[in-house]
Amino acid sequence: MSPKSLPHFSPGYISEVEKGVEEFQRGNFAGALKVFVNVCATRGESADVLTNIGGCYIALGTPSAALPELSKALEIDKSHAGAWNNLGQVLREMGHTPEAYECFTQAVFYAPADCMIGSNLCYFLLSVAGTSTEGYGVPGWPPVPLSG
């Protein structure tokens, strides 16, 4: 297999992805997006980086732009919990509640021990039920896990 087919084994790949994650954590979503897009262009697409690109679009307030990236991530890895989680967020914002529910449950299925993903499903269910999430200790919305 070529490094293009296994981008996460390419020299420098991890440090480039970490740079994008750091930019995202600083709140520089546009800068993080630029880093992740560059990683895909130079190292090849991976489910992790495509999920991170989707997360950047969500954080930038353009969730519809995240759809193709998250779809590609799930084509590469159907079991990528972060991609399912972010896709659930996008679909929820677009008013596709049943589809969003399916995505959040898939995320939990593939990452049952991930507290953030479980909390996101709980938050989604509470919000659909019209119940306030205050006092539940649920992380802020939108849920945007980054794959480091």
Residue 134 in any domain: the answer is no
Residues of the chain with pLDDT under 50: 1-6, 138-139, 141-142
Residue 11 in any domain: the answer is yes
Residue 144 in any domain: the answer is no
For the entire predicted model, the pTM comes to 0.81
Q: Is 3 strand, coil or helix?
A: coil
Q: What CATH number should be reported for the domain holding residue 53? A: 1.25.40.10
Residue 140 in any domain: the answer is no
Predicted pLDDT at 45: 92
What does each C-alpha distance from 70 to 4, 26, 130, 133 come to in angstroms? Answer: 20, 22, 27, 27
Residue 19 in any domain: the answer is yes
Site of tokens 């039920």: 129
Predicted pLDDT at 5: 40
For 119-137, letters b (16+ CB in 10 Å) and e give bbbebbeeeeeeeebeeee
Residue 110 in any domain: the answer is yes
Q: At what angle do helices 81-93 and 115-128 cross, to 10 degrees?
A: 20
Which residues, 6+ apart, have CB-to-CB distance to 147 below 8 Å? Answer: 17, 47, 48, 49, 51, 52, 82
In this structure, is the dihedral angle defined by the CA atoms of residues 107, 67, 143 and 93, taken in order, positive or negative?
negative
Predicted pLDDT at 128: 83
Predicted pLDDT at 2: 32
Please state the domain count of the chain: 1
Containing domain of residue 60, as a range?
7-128
Residue 143 in any domain: the answer is no
Residue 147 in any domain: the answer is no
Predicted pLDDT at 125: 87
Predicted pLDDT at 130: 80
